């Protein structure tokens, strides 16, 4: 197995622009999973570090959905003990550029997105 730097626990700040995107790549957590796999295959336990806000069940569902849709491959290794790695497929790698563009867009429109969300949470006034 190739050594890659560990994923930092703060890779996804609680105030990450991706949480404000009005559109998604897959489910709620899929884009973050894709970004975690950008530098190469990762084990489930490695993904849990930066995705600590995601429940294990939700992370598993995201990984299964990404695998089912062809973005992620799952490989089981039967070395001394069983270990599973997840990696981007060519299709998964191809979505990284549009994903980066959408994150950049969200960062540029951060204040507008927050204002809109706060306005919507304040309730909708009735007409009539």
Give residue 61's pLDDT band: very low, low, confident or very high (50, 70, 90). very high
pLDDT (mean) for 74-85 = 88
3-state secondary structure the chain: CCCCCCCCCCCCCCCCHHHHCCCCCCCCCHHHHHHHCCCCCEEHHHHHCCCCCCCHHHHHHHHHHHHHCCCEEEEEEECCCEEEEEEECHHHHHCHHHHHHHHHHHHHCHHHHHHHHHHHHCCCCCCC
pLDDT confidence bin for 99, thresholds 50/70/90: confident
Asked if residue 28 has pLDDT above 70, the reply is yes
Res 24: pLDDT: 60
Tell me: pLDDT of 127 over 90: no
Task: Give dist(CA 94, CA 89) in Å, integer.
Answer: 9
pLDDT, greater one: 32 or 127: 32
pLDDT of residue 8: 66
Q: At residue 125, does pLDDT exceed 50? A: no
């Amino acid at each position: 197995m190739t050594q890659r730097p560990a994923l930092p626990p703060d890779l996804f700040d609680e105030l990450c622009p991706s949480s404000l995107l009005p559109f998604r790549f897959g489910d709620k957590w899929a884009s973050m999973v894709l970004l975690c796999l950008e530098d190469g295959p990762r084990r489930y336990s490695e993904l849990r570090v930066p995705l600590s806000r995601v429940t294990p069940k939700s992370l598993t569902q995201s990984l299964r959905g990404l695998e089912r849709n062809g973005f992620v491959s799952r490989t089981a290794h039967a070395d001394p003990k069983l270990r599973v790695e997840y990696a981007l497929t060519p299709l998964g790698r191809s979505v990284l550029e549009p994903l980066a563009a959408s994150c950049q867009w969200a960062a540029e429109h951060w204040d507008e997105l927050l204002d809109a969300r706060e306005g919507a949470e304040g309730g909708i006034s009735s007409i009539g």
